A and B are shown apart, each in its own frame.
Chain A
Amino acid sequence: MVEKSMKRLYTFLIFLFLYAPIIVLIVFSFNDSRSRGVWNGFTLKWYFELFKDREILRALYYTLFIAISSSIISTIIGTFAAIGIYGMNGFGKKLVLNLNYLPVLNPDIVTAVALMTLFRLAQLEFGLLTLLLAHVTFCIPYVVLSILPKLKQMNKHLAEAAMDLGATPFYALRKVIIPEIMPGIITGALLAFTLSIDDFVISFFTTGHGVSNLSITIFAMARRGINPVINALSTLMFITLLVLLLIINKRTEKNDKNLQERR
Protein backbone atom coordinates (compact mmCIF):
# COMPACT_ATOMS: atom_id res chain seq x y z
CA MET A 1 0.00 0.00 0.00
CA VAL A 2 2.80 2.39 0.95
CA GLU A 3 4.61 1.50 -2.25
CA LYS A 4 1.54 2.23 -4.31
CA SER A 5 1.02 5.66 -2.80
CA MET A 6 4.71 6.41 -3.22
CA LYS A 7 4.35 5.58 -6.91
CA ARG A 8 1.29 7.83 -7.16
CA LEU A 9 3.12 10.68 -5.48
CA TYR A 10 6.17 10.28 -7.73
CA THR A 11 4.05 10.22 -10.88
CA PHE A 12 2.19 13.29 -9.68
CA LEU A 13 5.43 15.18 -8.96
CA ILE A 14 6.91 14.38 -12.38
CA PHE A 15 3.79 15.56 -14.17
CA LEU A 16 3.70 18.65 -11.96
CA PHE A 17 7.28 19.37 -13.02
CA LEU A 18 6.33 18.94 -16.69
CA TYR A 19 3.18 21.03 -16.58
CA ALA A 20 3.72 23.69 -13.91
CA PRO A 21 5.62 26.05 -16.22
CA ILE A 22 3.02 25.65 -18.96
CA ILE A 23 0.11 26.25 -16.59
CA VAL A 24 1.78 29.32 -15.15
CA LEU A 25 2.35 30.62 -18.67
CA ILE A 26 -1.32 30.13 -19.51
CA VAL A 27 -2.63 31.70 -16.30
CA PHE A 28 -0.39 34.73 -16.66
CA SER A 29 -1.44 35.33 -20.24
CA PHE A 30 -4.68 36.61 -18.67
CA ASN A 31 -2.95 38.74 -16.07
CA ASP A 32 -3.45 42.49 -16.24
CA SER A 33 0.10 43.35 -15.25
CA ARG A 34 3.47 43.39 -16.90
CA SER A 35 5.41 42.41 -13.80
CA ARG A 36 4.96 38.78 -13.01
CA GLY A 37 4.30 37.11 -9.74
CA VAL A 38 1.42 39.42 -8.93
CA TRP A 39 -2.12 38.78 -10.09
CA ASN A 40 -3.73 42.07 -11.10
CA GLY A 41 -7.01 40.86 -12.50
CA PHE A 42 -8.29 39.21 -15.64
CA THR A 43 -7.65 40.71 -19.05
CA LEU A 44 -7.58 39.73 -22.70
CA LYS A 45 -5.44 42.68 -23.75
CA TRP A 46 -2.35 40.57 -24.47
CA TYR A 47 -4.35 38.59 -26.99
CA PHE A 48 -5.47 41.76 -28.73
CA GLU A 49 -1.91 42.97 -28.74
CA LEU A 50 -0.79 39.65 -30.19
CA PHE A 51 -3.13 40.01 -33.14
CA LYS A 52 -1.98 43.57 -33.71
CA ASP A 53 1.68 42.60 -33.62
CA ARG A 54 2.87 42.73 -37.24
CA GLU A 55 6.19 41.05 -36.42
CA ILE A 56 4.57 37.99 -34.87
CA LEU A 57 1.91 37.63 -37.55
CA ARG A 58 4.54 37.78 -40.29
CA ALA A 59 6.64 35.21 -38.46
CA LEU A 60 3.59 32.97 -38.18
CA TYR A 61 3.00 33.31 -41.91
CA TYR A 62 6.62 32.41 -42.73
CA THR A 63 6.58 29.49 -40.28
CA LEU A 64 3.51 27.95 -41.88
CA PHE A 65 4.68 28.66 -45.42
CA ILE A 66 8.07 27.05 -44.78
CA ALA A 67 6.59 24.11 -42.88
CA ILE A 68 4.03 23.31 -45.57
CA SER A 69 6.36 23.72 -48.54
CA SER A 70 9.34 21.96 -46.96
CA SER A 71 7.22 19.02 -45.81
CA ILE A 72 5.70 18.63 -49.30
CA ILE A 73 9.06 18.87 -51.08
CA SER A 74 10.87 16.62 -48.63
CA THR A 75 8.08 14.02 -48.71
CA ILE A 76 8.24 13.80 -52.50
CA ILE A 77 12.05 13.63 -52.73
CA GLY A 78 12.22 11.38 -49.66
CA THR A 79 9.66 8.88 -50.94
CA PHE A 80 11.48 8.40 -54.25
CA ALA A 81 14.80 8.32 -52.40
CA ALA A 82 13.59 5.60 -50.02
CA ILE A 83 12.40 3.47 -52.94
CA GLY A 84 15.72 3.99 -54.69
CA ILE A 85 17.76 3.21 -51.56
CA TYR A 86 15.69 0.08 -50.96
CA GLY A 87 16.65 -1.19 -54.42
CA MET A 88 20.34 -0.46 -53.91
CA ASN A 89 22.89 -2.75 -52.36
CA GLY A 90 26.51 -2.93 -51.36
CA PHE A 91 28.75 0.05 -50.74
CA GLY A 92 26.48 2.58 -52.42
CA LYS A 93 23.62 1.78 -50.08
CA LYS A 94 25.84 2.04 -47.03
CA LEU A 95 27.22 5.37 -48.16
CA VAL A 96 23.81 6.88 -48.86
CA LEU A 97 22.33 5.58 -45.59
CA ASN A 98 25.24 6.95 -43.57
CA LEU A 99 25.05 10.35 -45.26
CA ASN A 100 21.32 10.29 -44.62
CA TYR A 101 21.98 9.67 -40.93
CA LEU A 102 24.35 12.61 -40.57
CA PRO A 103 21.79 15.39 -40.06
CA VAL A 104 19.87 13.14 -37.63
CA LEU A 105 22.90 12.45 -35.45
CA ASN A 106 24.83 15.69 -35.84
CA PRO A 107 23.99 18.40 -33.37
CA ASP A 108 21.72 21.01 -34.96
CA ILE A 109 24.30 23.71 -34.56
CA VAL A 110 26.85 21.82 -36.69
CA THR A 111 24.33 21.20 -39.48
CA ALA A 112 23.38 24.87 -39.22
CA VAL A 113 26.87 26.34 -39.53
CA ALA A 114 27.75 23.88 -42.30
CA LEU A 115 24.74 25.01 -44.37
CA MET A 116 25.47 28.63 -43.54
CA THR A 117 29.01 28.22 -44.86
CA LEU A 118 27.73 26.62 -48.07
CA PHE A 119 25.15 29.33 -48.72
CA ARG A 120 27.64 32.09 -48.06
CA LEU A 121 30.23 30.60 -50.42
CA ALA A 122 27.58 30.01 -53.09
CA GLN A 123 26.70 33.68 -52.60
CA LEU A 124 23.03 32.98 -52.14
CA GLU A 125 21.04 35.77 -50.58
CA PHE A 126 20.04 34.72 -47.06
CA GLY A 127 16.29 34.69 -46.74
CA LEU A 128 13.30 32.61 -47.72
CA LEU A 129 15.16 30.47 -50.29
CA THR A 130 18.05 29.52 -48.01
CA LEU A 131 15.61 28.85 -45.17
CA LEU A 132 13.56 26.54 -47.39
CA LEU A 133 16.63 24.69 -48.68
CA ALA A 134 17.87 24.17 -45.13
CA HIS A 135 14.51 22.89 -43.90
CA VAL A 136 14.14 20.46 -46.80
CA THR A 137 17.68 19.22 -46.10
CA PHE A 138 17.03 18.34 -42.47
CA CYS A 139 13.53 16.97 -43.14
CA ILE A 140 14.29 14.46 -45.92
CA PRO A 141 16.34 12.07 -43.74
CA TYR A 142 13.39 11.63 -41.36
CA VAL A 143 11.02 10.98 -44.26
CA VAL A 144 13.41 8.36 -45.67
CA LEU A 145 13.80 6.74 -42.25
CA SER A 146 10.06 6.47 -41.72
CA ILE A 147 9.43 4.95 -45.18
CA LEU A 148 12.28 2.40 -45.31
CA PRO A 149 10.76 0.03 -42.68
CA LYS A 150 7.49 -0.04 -44.66
CA LEU A 151 9.38 -1.01 -47.80
CA LYS A 152 11.06 -3.83 -45.90
CA GLN A 153 7.66 -5.11 -44.76
CA MET A 154 6.30 -5.03 -48.31
CA ASN A 155 6.26 -8.22 -50.35
CA LYS A 156 9.27 -7.89 -52.65
CA HIS A 157 7.60 -9.60 -55.57
CA LEU A 158 4.53 -7.37 -55.72
CA ALA A 159 6.10 -4.80 -58.02
CA GLU A 160 7.72 -7.52 -60.13
CA ALA A 161 4.38 -9.28 -60.47
CA ALA A 162 2.75 -6.03 -61.59
CA MET A 163 5.43 -5.47 -64.20
CA ASP A 164 5.23 -9.09 -65.41
CA LEU A 165 1.56 -8.50 -65.93
CA GLY A 166 2.40 -5.61 -68.21
CA ALA A 167 2.50 -2.59 -65.92
CA THR A 168 5.15 -0.02 -66.75
CA PRO A 169 7.59 0.66 -63.89
CA PHE A 170 5.95 4.02 -63.28
CA TYR A 171 2.50 2.45 -63.21
CA ALA A 172 3.69 -0.23 -60.79
CA LEU A 173 5.19 2.47 -58.60
CA ARG A 174 1.99 4.48 -58.57
CA LYS A 175 -0.48 1.64 -58.19
CA VAL A 176 1.43 -0.93 -56.16
CA ILE A 177 4.42 0.41 -54.24
CA ILE A 178 3.11 3.82 -53.14
CA PRO A 179 -0.20 2.50 -51.75
CA GLU A 180 1.72 -0.20 -49.85
CA ILE A 181 4.02 2.30 -48.14
CA MET A 182 1.39 5.04 -47.63
CA PRO A 183 1.39 4.88 -43.80
CA GLY A 184 5.14 5.48 -43.82
CA ILE A 185 4.77 8.41 -46.21
CA ILE A 186 2.13 10.02 -44.00
CA THR A 187 4.22 9.55 -40.86
CA GLY A 188 7.20 11.03 -42.67
CA ALA A 189 5.23 14.04 -43.90
CA LEU A 190 3.81 14.75 -40.42
CA LEU A 191 7.25 14.38 -38.88
CA ALA A 192 8.74 16.78 -41.43
CA PHE A 193 5.96 19.28 -40.76
CA THR A 194 6.41 19.27 -36.99
CA LEU A 195 10.21 19.35 -37.22
CA SER A 196 10.03 22.33 -39.53
CA ILE A 197 7.54 24.21 -37.32
CA ASP A 198 9.62 23.58 -34.23
CA ASP A 199 13.05 24.30 -35.64
CA PHE A 200 15.04 27.15 -34.22
CA VAL A 201 18.78 26.51 -34.44
CA ILE A 202 19.07 25.75 -38.16
CA SER A 203 16.66 28.55 -39.12
CA PHE A 204 18.53 31.00 -36.92
CA PHE A 205 21.73 30.49 -38.91
CA THR A 206 20.31 30.15 -42.41
CA THR A 207 17.88 33.03 -42.67
CA GLY A 208 18.33 36.72 -43.19
CA HIS A 209 16.89 39.91 -44.62
CA GLY A 210 14.08 40.11 -42.09
CA VAL A 211 12.67 36.68 -42.82
CA SER A 212 12.13 34.99 -39.49
CA ASN A 213 9.96 32.22 -38.16
CA LEU A 214 8.10 32.07 -34.85
CA SER A 215 11.00 30.44 -33.02
CA ILE A 216 13.40 33.18 -34.02
CA THR A 217 10.90 35.88 -33.08
CA ILE A 218 10.27 34.27 -29.69
CA PHE A 219 14.01 34.00 -29.08
CA ALA A 220 14.54 37.66 -29.84
CA MET A 221 11.62 38.69 -27.60
CA ALA A 222 12.56 36.35 -24.74
CA ARG A 223 16.10 37.70 -24.72
CA ARG A 224 14.68 41.14 -23.97
CA GLY A 225 12.89 39.63 -20.96
CA ILE A 226 9.36 38.62 -20.11
CA ASN A 227 6.65 39.70 -22.49
CA PRO A 228 3.01 38.77 -21.77
CA VAL A 229 2.35 38.68 -25.52
CA ILE A 230 4.54 35.56 -25.69
CA ASN A 231 2.39 34.04 -22.94
CA ALA A 232 -0.71 34.65 -25.02
CA LEU A 233 0.99 33.13 -28.05
CA SER A 234 2.05 30.05 -26.06
CA THR A 235 -1.47 29.58 -24.77
CA LEU A 236 -2.92 29.65 -28.27
CA MET A 237 -0.27 27.27 -29.57
CA PHE A 238 -0.79 24.91 -26.64
CA ILE A 239 -4.54 24.80 -27.17
CA THR A 240 -4.15 24.22 -30.92
CA LEU A 241 -1.76 21.37 -30.21
CA LEU A 242 -4.05 19.82 -27.62
CA VAL A 243 -7.05 19.92 -29.96
CA LEU A 244 -5.00 18.40 -32.80
CA LEU A 245 -3.73 15.59 -30.61
CA LEU A 246 -7.21 14.83 -29.28
CA ILE A 247 -8.58 14.62 -32.84
CA ILE A 248 -5.74 12.31 -33.91
CA ASN A 249 -6.28 10.17 -30.84
CA LYS A 250 -10.02 9.92 -31.46
CA ARG A 251 -9.38 8.92 -35.07
CA THR A 252 -6.90 6.19 -34.22
CA GLU A 253 -9.25 4.89 -31.52
CA LYS A 254 -12.04 4.76 -34.08
CA ASN A 255 -9.77 2.97 -36.55
CA ASP A 256 -8.80 0.44 -33.91
CA LYS A 257 -12.46 -0.19 -33.16
CA ASN A 258 -13.28 -0.62 -36.84
CA LEU A 259 -10.45 -3.08 -37.18
CA GLN A 260 -11.66 -5.05 -34.20
CA GLU A 261 -15.20 -5.14 -35.51
CA ARG A 262 -14.06 -6.36 -38.91
CA ARG A 263 -12.23 -9.20 -37.26
Chain B
Amino acid sequence: MKIRNTGYPYYIWLAIFIAIPLILVLYFAFTTGDSQNLGTFSFSLNNFKRFFTPIYLTVLYKSVSLALVSTVICLGLGYPIAYIISREKPRIRNVMVLLFVIPMWMNFLLRTYAWLTLLGKNGIINYIITKIGFQPLDLIYNDTAVLLGMVYNFLPFMVLPIFSVLTKMNFNLVEAAEDLGANKKVTFLKVILPLSLPGIITGITMVFIPAVSTFVISSLLGGNKSTLIGNLIEQQFRYTMDWHFGSAMSIILMVFILIAMALTSKFDKEKEGEGGGLW
Protein backbone atom coordinates (compact mmCIF):
# COMPACT_ATOMS: atom_id res chain seq x y z
CA MET B 1 0.00 0.00 0.00
CA LYS B 2 1.29 3.42 -0.92
CA ILE B 3 0.44 6.28 1.38
CA ARG B 4 -0.90 8.45 -1.37
CA ASN B 5 -3.47 5.86 -2.39
CA THR B 6 -5.40 6.35 0.85
CA GLY B 7 -7.69 8.89 -0.81
CA TYR B 8 -9.44 6.46 -3.15
CA PRO B 9 -12.48 5.72 -0.99
CA TYR B 10 -13.20 9.42 -0.92
CA TYR B 11 -12.70 9.92 -4.65
CA ILE B 12 -15.36 7.28 -5.22
CA TRP B 13 -17.57 8.99 -2.64
CA LEU B 14 -17.07 12.32 -4.39
CA ALA B 15 -18.09 10.82 -7.71
CA ILE B 16 -21.23 9.15 -6.36
CA PHE B 17 -22.51 11.74 -3.91
CA ILE B 18 -21.28 15.04 -5.32
CA ALA B 19 -20.57 14.78 -9.04
CA ILE B 20 -23.39 12.46 -10.11
CA PRO B 21 -26.16 14.28 -8.17
CA LEU B 22 -25.21 17.61 -9.73
CA ILE B 23 -25.11 16.05 -13.19
CA LEU B 24 -28.56 14.64 -12.47
CA VAL B 25 -29.86 18.08 -11.54
CA LEU B 26 -28.43 19.45 -14.76
CA TYR B 27 -30.04 16.61 -16.70
CA PHE B 28 -33.42 17.15 -15.05
CA ALA B 29 -33.22 20.87 -15.79
CA PHE B 30 -32.91 20.30 -19.53
CA THR B 31 -35.57 17.63 -19.85
CA THR B 32 -39.28 17.26 -19.28
CA GLY B 33 -41.41 14.24 -18.56
CA ASP B 34 -42.72 12.31 -15.60
CA SER B 35 -40.22 13.05 -12.81
CA GLN B 36 -40.45 9.53 -11.42
CA ASN B 37 -39.93 7.70 -14.70
CA LEU B 38 -36.65 8.13 -16.57
CA GLY B 39 -38.07 6.54 -19.71
CA THR B 40 -40.42 9.45 -20.34
CA PHE B 41 -37.72 12.14 -20.38
CA SER B 42 -37.11 14.22 -23.47
CA PHE B 43 -34.82 17.17 -24.08
CA SER B 44 -36.49 20.52 -23.63
CA LEU B 45 -35.81 24.10 -22.67
CA ASN B 46 -39.36 24.60 -21.43
CA ASN B 47 -38.32 24.75 -17.77
CA PHE B 48 -36.18 27.77 -18.41
CA LYS B 49 -38.79 29.33 -20.69
CA ARG B 50 -41.31 28.92 -17.93
CA PHE B 51 -39.01 30.55 -15.41
CA PHE B 52 -38.38 33.61 -17.53
CA THR B 53 -41.97 34.82 -17.23
CA PRO B 54 -43.00 37.76 -15.04
CA ILE B 55 -44.32 35.69 -12.08
CA TYR B 56 -41.05 33.86 -11.49
CA LEU B 57 -38.80 36.74 -12.47
CA THR B 58 -40.44 38.86 -9.77
CA VAL B 59 -39.57 36.19 -7.22
CA LEU B 60 -35.97 36.05 -8.45
CA TYR B 61 -35.74 39.84 -8.36
CA LYS B 62 -37.12 39.90 -4.83
CA SER B 63 -34.72 37.19 -3.60
CA VAL B 64 -31.69 38.89 -5.09
CA SER B 65 -32.64 42.36 -3.88
CA LEU B 66 -33.46 41.19 -0.33
CA ALA B 67 -30.14 39.34 -0.23
CA LEU B 68 -28.27 42.39 -1.52
CA VAL B 69 -29.92 44.76 0.95
CA SER B 70 -29.22 42.41 3.85
CA THR B 71 -25.59 42.08 2.74
CA VAL B 72 -25.23 45.88 2.64
CA ILE B 73 -26.84 46.25 6.07
CA CYS B 74 -24.60 43.53 7.51
CA LEU B 75 -21.55 45.29 6.09
CA GLY B 76 -22.69 48.68 7.42
CA LEU B 77 -23.43 47.33 10.89
CA GLY B 78 -20.64 44.79 10.95
CA TYR B 79 -17.61 46.77 9.83
CA PRO B 80 -17.62 49.28 12.70
CA ILE B 81 -18.08 46.59 15.33
CA ALA B 82 -15.35 44.43 13.75
CA TYR B 83 -13.06 47.44 13.87
CA ILE B 84 -13.93 48.28 17.47
CA ILE B 85 -13.33 44.69 18.59
CA SER B 86 -10.03 44.45 16.72
CA ARG B 87 -8.69 47.50 18.56
CA GLU B 88 -9.49 46.16 22.04
CA LYS B 89 -6.95 44.59 24.37
CA PRO B 90 -6.49 40.83 23.68
CA ARG B 91 -8.41 39.75 26.79
CA ILE B 92 -11.50 41.84 26.11
CA ARG B 93 -11.20 41.04 22.42
CA ASN B 94 -11.38 37.30 23.03
CA VAL B 95 -14.46 37.68 25.21
CA MET B 96 -16.19 39.84 22.58
CA VAL B 97 -15.41 37.38 19.78
CA LEU B 98 -16.76 34.58 21.94
CA LEU B 99 -19.94 36.62 22.46
CA PHE B 100 -20.30 36.82 18.69
CA VAL B 101 -19.73 33.12 18.21
CA ILE B 102 -22.19 31.89 20.85
CA PRO B 103 -25.40 32.85 18.99
CA MET B 104 -23.90 31.35 15.84
CA TRP B 105 -23.62 28.01 17.55
CA MET B 106 -27.22 28.07 18.60
CA ASN B 107 -29.56 26.29 16.24
CA PHE B 108 -30.34 28.41 13.21
CA LEU B 109 -34.05 27.70 13.46
CA LEU B 110 -34.23 28.66 17.12
CA ARG B 111 -32.55 31.97 16.33
CA THR B 112 -35.14 32.66 13.66
CA TYR B 113 -37.95 31.40 15.86
CA ALA B 114 -36.87 33.81 18.62
CA TRP B 115 -38.01 36.71 16.46
CA LEU B 116 -41.54 35.28 16.33
CA THR B 117 -41.80 35.94 20.05
CA LEU B 118 -40.66 39.52 19.62
CA LEU B 119 -42.46 40.53 16.45
CA GLY B 120 -45.71 38.55 16.63
CA LYS B 121 -49.17 40.11 16.90
CA ASN B 122 -49.20 39.47 20.64
CA GLY B 123 -45.45 39.78 20.80
CA ILE B 124 -43.43 41.86 23.18
CA ILE B 125 -42.82 44.83 20.90
CA ASN B 126 -46.52 45.15 20.17
CA TYR B 127 -47.30 44.73 23.86
CA ILE B 128 -45.07 47.69 24.66
CA ILE B 129 -46.53 49.75 21.81
CA THR B 130 -50.10 49.15 22.96
CA LYS B 131 -49.17 49.88 26.59
CA ILE B 132 -47.88 53.29 25.51
CA GLY B 133 -51.22 53.81 23.81
CA PHE B 134 -50.63 53.19 20.14
CA GLN B 135 -52.26 50.74 17.74
CA PRO B 136 -50.42 47.42 17.37
CA LEU B 137 -48.27 47.22 14.25
CA ASP B 138 -47.98 44.51 11.63
CA LEU B 139 -44.38 43.60 12.32
CA ILE B 140 -44.33 40.03 11.15
CA TYR B 141 -45.13 38.15 7.94
CA ASN B 142 -43.75 40.79 5.61
CA ASP B 143 -40.50 41.49 3.77
CA THR B 144 -39.07 43.69 6.53
CA ALA B 145 -39.32 40.80 8.98
CA VAL B 146 -37.51 38.55 6.47
CA LEU B 147 -34.80 41.17 6.06
CA LEU B 148 -34.42 41.46 9.82
CA GLY B 149 -34.15 37.69 10.10
CA MET B 150 -31.42 37.61 7.46
CA VAL B 151 -29.40 40.40 9.09
CA TYR B 152 -29.75 38.78 12.50
CA ASN B 153 -28.70 35.34 11.31
CA PHE B 154 -25.85 36.32 9.03
CA LEU B 155 -24.28 39.33 10.79
CA PRO B 156 -21.57 37.19 12.49
CA PHE B 157 -20.55 35.83 9.07
CA MET B 158 -19.70 39.41 8.09
CA VAL B 159 -18.09 40.48 11.35
CA LEU B 160 -15.74 37.54 11.93
CA PRO B 161 -13.82 37.56 8.60
CA ILE B 162 -13.41 41.35 8.71
CA PHE B 163 -12.31 41.12 12.33
CA SER B 164 -9.70 38.45 11.58
CA VAL B 165 -8.19 40.57 8.79
CA LEU B 166 -8.17 43.72 10.92
CA THR B 167 -6.42 42.06 13.86
CA LYS B 168 -3.67 40.77 11.57
CA MET B 169 -3.26 44.23 10.00
CA ASN B 170 -0.03 46.03 10.85
CA PHE B 171 -1.31 48.99 12.83
CA ASN B 172 1.97 50.87 12.35
CA LEU B 173 0.81 51.57 8.81
CA VAL B 174 -2.13 53.55 10.18
CA GLU B 175 0.14 55.49 12.50
CA ALA B 176 2.56 56.12 9.63
CA ALA B 177 -0.27 57.54 7.51
CA GLU B 178 -1.32 59.81 10.36
CA ASP B 179 2.26 60.94 10.95
CA LEU B 180 2.53 61.80 7.29
CA GLY B 181 -0.42 64.12 7.63
CA ALA B 182 -3.39 62.06 6.51
CA ASN B 183 -6.60 62.87 8.36
CA LYS B 184 -8.86 60.16 9.73
CA LYS B 185 -11.01 59.89 6.64
CA VAL B 186 -8.06 59.59 4.27
CA THR B 187 -6.33 57.06 6.52
CA PHE B 188 -9.46 54.96 6.55
CA LEU B 189 -10.11 55.15 2.81
CA LYS B 190 -6.50 54.75 1.67
CA VAL B 191 -5.02 52.43 4.29
CA ILE B 192 -7.47 50.57 6.50
CA LEU B 193 -10.19 49.85 3.94
CA PRO B 194 -7.90 48.47 1.19
CA LEU B 195 -6.11 46.29 3.71
CA SER B 196 -9.34 44.83 5.02
CA LEU B 197 -10.75 44.14 1.55
CA PRO B 198 -10.14 40.36 1.62
CA GLY B 199 -12.18 40.13 4.84
CA ILE B 200 -14.98 42.24 3.38
CA ILE B 201 -15.14 40.02 0.31
CA THR B 202 -15.28 36.82 2.34
CA GLY B 203 -17.97 38.44 4.47
CA ILE B 204 -20.05 39.48 1.47
CA THR B 205 -20.01 36.01 -0.06
CA MET B 206 -20.75 34.39 3.29
CA VAL B 207 -23.81 36.58 3.80
CA PHE B 208 -25.07 36.77 0.23
CA ILE B 209 -25.06 33.02 -0.58
CA PRO B 210 -27.17 31.83 2.36
CA ALA B 211 -29.40 34.92 2.12
CA VAL B 212 -30.25 34.48 -1.54
CA SER B 213 -30.97 30.78 -1.21
CA THR B 214 -32.85 30.71 2.10
CA PHE B 215 -36.33 29.35 2.40
CA VAL B 216 -36.42 28.93 6.17
CA ILE B 217 -36.37 32.60 7.12
CA SER B 218 -38.96 33.51 4.52
CA SER B 219 -41.32 30.71 5.50
CA LEU B 220 -41.05 31.41 9.25
CA LEU B 221 -40.99 35.21 9.27
CA GLY B 222 -42.43 36.03 5.85
CA GLY B 223 -45.57 33.91 6.01
CA ASN B 224 -47.33 33.20 2.73
CA LYS B 225 -46.72 36.66 1.37
CA SER B 226 -42.99 36.35 1.10
CA THR B 227 -41.98 33.77 -1.48
CA LEU B 228 -38.31 33.60 -2.41
CA ILE B 229 -36.58 31.42 -4.97
CA GLY B 230 -35.66 28.99 -2.18
CA ASN B 231 -39.34 28.54 -1.38
CA LEU B 232 -40.11 27.89 -5.04
CA ILE B 233 -37.46 25.16 -5.23
CA GLU B 234 -38.73 23.62 -2.01
CA GLN B 235 -42.31 23.55 -3.33
CA GLN B 236 -41.29 21.93 -6.62
CA PHE B 237 -39.38 19.15 -4.92
CA ARG B 238 -41.66 18.46 -1.98
CA TYR B 239 -45.21 19.25 -3.05
CA THR B 240 -45.67 19.91 -6.78
CA MET B 241 -43.17 17.16 -7.59
CA ASP B 242 -42.08 18.88 -10.80
CA TRP B 243 -38.41 18.07 -10.35
CA HIS B 244 -37.54 19.30 -13.81
CA PHE B 245 -38.67 22.83 -13.07
CA GLY B 246 -37.14 22.66 -9.57
CA SER B 247 -33.80 21.58 -11.04
CA ALA B 248 -33.88 24.39 -13.58
CA MET B 249 -34.38 26.89 -10.75
CA SER B 250 -31.52 25.33 -8.77
CA ILE B 251 -29.27 25.77 -11.80
CA ILE B 252 -30.35 29.41 -12.14
CA LEU B 253 -29.63 29.97 -8.44
CA MET B 254 -26.18 28.43 -8.84
CA VAL B 255 -25.45 30.63 -11.85
CA PHE B 256 -26.41 33.71 -9.83
CA ILE B 257 -24.06 32.73 -7.04
CA LEU B 258 -21.25 32.08 -9.51
CA ILE B 259 -21.79 35.55 -10.97
CA ALA B 260 -21.77 37.09 -7.50
CA MET B 261 -18.54 35.29 -6.63
CA ALA B 262 -16.89 36.27 -9.90
CA LEU B 263 -17.84 39.90 -9.29
CA THR B 264 -16.52 39.94 -5.73
CA SER B 265 -13.29 38.12 -6.57
CA LYS B 266 -12.61 40.81 -9.19
CA PHE B 267 -12.25 43.30 -6.36
CA ASP B 268 -10.03 40.93 -4.49
CA LYS B 269 -6.62 41.58 -5.96
CA GLU B 270 -4.73 39.39 -3.57
CA LYS B 271 -6.32 36.05 -4.19
CA GLU B 272 -4.89 33.11 -2.29
CA GLY B 273 -3.47 35.73 0.07
CA GLU B 274 -3.92 35.85 3.79
CA GLY B 275 -7.64 36.14 3.21
CA GLY B 276 -10.17 36.45 5.95
CA GLY B 277 -11.19 32.86 6.23
CA LEU B 278 -13.74 32.13 8.87
CA TRP B 279 -12.05 28.99 10.10
A-to-B contact residues, CB < 8 Å: 7, 10-11, 14-15, 17-22, 24-25, 28, 35-38, 77-78, 80-88, 96, 99-100, 102-103, 105-111, 113-118, 120-121, 133, 136-137, 140, 144-146, 159, 169-170, 172-173, 177, 187, 191, 194, 197-198, 200-201, 205, 214-215, 218-219, 222-223, 225-226, 230-231, 233-234, 237-238, 241-242, 245, 249
Q: Which of A14, A83, A116 contacts B7 (CB 8 A)?
A: A83
Name 25 interchain pairs, CB-CB below 8 A, sorted by A: A10-B81, A10-B84, A15-B99, A18-B103, A18-B152, A20-B118, A21-B117, A22-B103, A36-B127, A80-B9, A99-B19, A106-B257, A107-B254, A111-B21, A113-B25, A114-B250, A117-B243, A146-B279, A170-B1, A197-B107, A205-B237, A214-B107, A223-B220, A241-B106, A245-B105
Chain A positions within 8 Å of B38 at CB level: 121
Query: B residues within 8 A CB of A113?
Result: 25, 233, 237, 243, 246-247, 250
Which residues of chain A come closer than 8 Å to B28, judged between CB atoms?
117
Question: Is there contact, CB below 8 Å, between A10 and B118?
Answer: no
Chain B proximity of A151: nearest CB distance (Å): 11
Query: Please, which residues of chain B bring their CB within 8 A of the CB of A77?
Result: 9-10, 13
Q: How would you classify the secondary structure of chain A's contact residues: helix, strand, loop or mixed?
A: helix
0/1 per residue, B1-43, Cβ < 8 Å to A? 1111111111101101111111011001000000010100000
Q: Using an 8 Å CB-CB cutoff, how does the interface string of B94-107 with A read, 1 for contact, 0 for none?
A: 00101111110111
* Cβ–Cβ < 8 Å partners of A21 in chain B: 111, 114-115, 117-118, 152
Task: Report Cα–Cα, A220/B20, bound state, in Å.
Answer: 31
A257 to chain B, nearest CB (A): 14
Interface residues of B in 85-128 (CB under 8 A from A): 85, 96, 98-103, 105-118, 120, 122-124, 126-127
Q: Choose from A19, A102, A169 the contact partner of B1 (Cβ within 8 Å).
A: A169
Q: Does B157 contact A (CB under 8 A)?
A: no
Whether B106 lies near A96 (C-beta < 8 A) is: no
CB contact list, B205-261 vs A, under 8 A: 209-210, 212-213, 215-216, 219-220, 230, 233-234, 237-238, 243, 246-247, 250, 253-254, 257, 261
Asked if A96 and B120 sit within 8 Å, CB to CB, the answer is no
Please state if A24 and B3 are interface contacts (CB–CB under 8 Å). Answer: no
State the 3 A-B residue pairs at the shortest beta-carbon distance, nearest first: A84-B7, A87-B4, A81-B10
Tell me the complex Cα distance, A100–B11, Å.
Answer: 9
Q: Which A residues lie within 8 Å of B145 (CB)?
A: none
Contact B253 A83 (CB under 8 A): no
Given the known interface contacts A84-B7, A110-B25, A205-B237, the answer about A24 and B117 at a Cβ–Cβ threshold of 8 Å is: yes
Given A18-B100, A102-B22, decide whether A234 and B110 contact each other with a Cβ distance below 8 A: yes
In the complex, are the beta carbons of B84 and A100 less than 8 A apart?
A: no
Q: Are A108 and B213 in contact (CB under 8 A)?
A: yes
Of all chain A residues, the one with the shortest Cβ separation from B127 is: A37
Whether B14 contacts A100 by the Cβ 8 Å rule is yes
The answer to whether A173 touches B6 (Cβ under 8 A) is: yes
Taking the complex as formed, is B194 at the interface, i.e. its CB lies under 8 A from any CB of chain A? no
